[in-house]
Structure 1
Amino acid sequence: MQNIIDRFISYIIIDTESDPKSSTTPSTLKQWDLANKLVEELKTIGMQDVTIDENAYIMATLPSNVNHDVPTIGFISHFDTTPDFTGANVNPQIIKNYNGKDIILNEEEGIILSPDLFDDLLQYKGQTLITTDGTTLLGADDKAGITEIITAMEYLINHPEIKHGKIRVGFTPDEEIGRGAHKFDVEKFGADWAYTMDGSQIGELEYENFNAAGAVIKVKGKIVHPGYAKGKMINSMYIATEFINSLPELETPEHTENYQGFFHLSSIEGKVEETILQYIIRDHDKKHFEARKEMIQNLADEINSQYEREVIVVEIKDQYYNMKEKVEPVMHIVDIAEEAMKQLGIKPLIKPIRGGTDGSQLSYMGLPCPNIFAGGHNFHGRYEYVPVESMVKATQVICKIAELTALKN
């Protein structure tokens, strides 16, 4: 267990925050720091065909150790962390034999990780937790996944009695800003299918995710001196407020769960002359997804009809789609992962992802790619933590999937 702790910490102390405003790949130069370290580590443990391209996409091979034909499988994780919260100067705390009570993350600032707010903590009583110090995120999303993949590959190399086919591993930049799969070379990767190790709590196994789009709503006003504005000024912020309030009040992230979709207003920049609204649109059901995009446009058209000129311009771009459509025809790849968990005494939690994953884009690029737990909780913020035992189990799941895939029958 200590080797997993040491490996994980060596990754999370390297700042790899991505930047949505950047046009480069990777979006930040500091992602190269961990990328280059991973390349050397893959070589050190004995992986073959270790490559890193000009965009920091890493691939490596563990050759088959059986004589019969076995499908080539892959395991994929991302090494960037979200720009939602700082990942610089991560100072992890290790809580051994967690007692089920409040954990003081930062005494000086009064930051507490409490089961009163995060009741998932209680299922890890007696285990070893790695938390933040309350001032940064942890980076388990998805450095836990990378830790598990490399540790599993090292274990298989050191235990050749475990039979497996050819295994490919891939590590990507910029997943947190939606670009992790954009420049992933599926043909070069050469796997029949793969798994992203990017889920949350132990047991998660996911092959459904949101259909996703981003919408930019530009509201045009007209500025004149407020003392002489009667009949002349058009305040874009008031029109934007009308637009916001006209969307379904309860179809937002804070009011929805499970398969329920939503409209999420993620940012506003406003002045009298122009206000810009940034929305994300999410729904698991494709028809409902299309209806949500149509509702945005229809609402803009309705408001525009009240003015002599166009005051609202809508730009909607699809981001990714529900991988279910691509995975269901090859459900045996989910069945193998489920069986691997059961054989290891893990209760599979098969549920939809209320978000996206590299796997959704990769599935549409020809690489079916369900998502498996990496163990962390409360991603993207100061309350993030990961039970070490969950990382150990995820490592075992990878090895067991490889073993089950290699069975002749």
Structure 2
Amino acid sequence: MSKNQALLARRQAAIPAGAASAYSIFVNRALGSEVWDEDGKHYVDFAAGIAVMNVGHQHPKVTEAVSRQLSRYAHVAYPVQAYEPYIEVCERLNKAAPIEDATSVLFSTGAEATENAVKIARIATGRPGIVAFTGSFHGRTNLALSLTGKVAPLRTNYAHFQPGIFHVPFPVPAHGMSEEDSLKALDYLFKSSISPDQVAAIIIEPIQGEGGYYQAPPAFVRRLREICDQNGILLIADEIQSGFARTGRFFAIEHCGVEPDLIPVGKAIGGGLPLAGVVGRRAVMDKAQPGSLGGTYAGNPLSCAAALAVFDLIEEEGLLERSHTVGGKLKAALERIAARNDLVPMGAIRGVGAMIAFEIFKERGGNVPDPDATKAVANRAREEGLLVLPCGYWGNTIRIAPALTIDDKTLEEGVARLTRALQHDTGSN
């Protein structure tokens, strides 16, 4: 029995099925954009811990920063006593955010960040309503799950509903939902379900993560900003997956030329350690009473040290520009692959920066989603030594989010392995 097989048996005995992993492999070590499992098999990592490892696995500056902090103290609890790394992370967030007069608060997970953004919005406005979008993902905790606009598997067989939360369709023209349709649905919502003067916030991912890497059209986001301003509604830009240079800007909302009121952040901020936060306008953030925001581990010193290294690396290694370069190479390669007739039918190639996706269809030239073929391709990629993640409202999207520090040779090897995975007949042609 291999080490992977032995660990799989132990996992099945010790851990419930709900805590699943996409692949039955167990990591031994990871470095840069490469991973080795317990059996010694090598993988090119195009998942990056779900867009967390933007600066790559085990970046020396991150590990050095964490080690240095560990030699001083690992935990004291910010709600009890403050410390400089927490303050410095907030200072860096405030400077990076496209929000005038910003302040920040730190948490441990993305779900905490989105829930607290909603909490702040409700406190600041005195209103209960929140508008989110279909296809969205905002977390697995109860309120965050109600915000999430996708059922399977997250909300299957679970009465998740929280009061005051409404969904409107996210605009995806390729699947029959235009910007105009989405705005019309929002107008209908305001006329039929909740008055806009009872809505605290509209929350949107500038680029949907689990929803399929669909970008919210900039003009659409600008119109949302106008609607919010006209009705005293706050605009929340969920940047947990799209932030920290992933799209070639520090935050994806910058592509829209819009200033949101609140930005939940997470994932890549901690360089692999758990850290999240909310950045927002001071006038909004200061409505929360002292002691109402935070948590025992929120803004842990080790995570803050890692985050400060991440901030430095984005600047020092030119990762905003590198994101564009990596994304350009990936999209060009995918266009070449899509033009071939000997591969699984694919297309709808899209992406901003290094947040790239494509879809797999039932037939060449069509647009009927094929989720079964998508799963098969992802599994075959794993067999070829490549880690990618399926996603999407229809389950037929493959997302590619490598480390922004990936070198060209490793990137090309990953593309080669993906091409081989797409060559295999999944029974959907």
Q: By the TM > 0.5 criterion, same fold?
A: no
More helix by share: 2
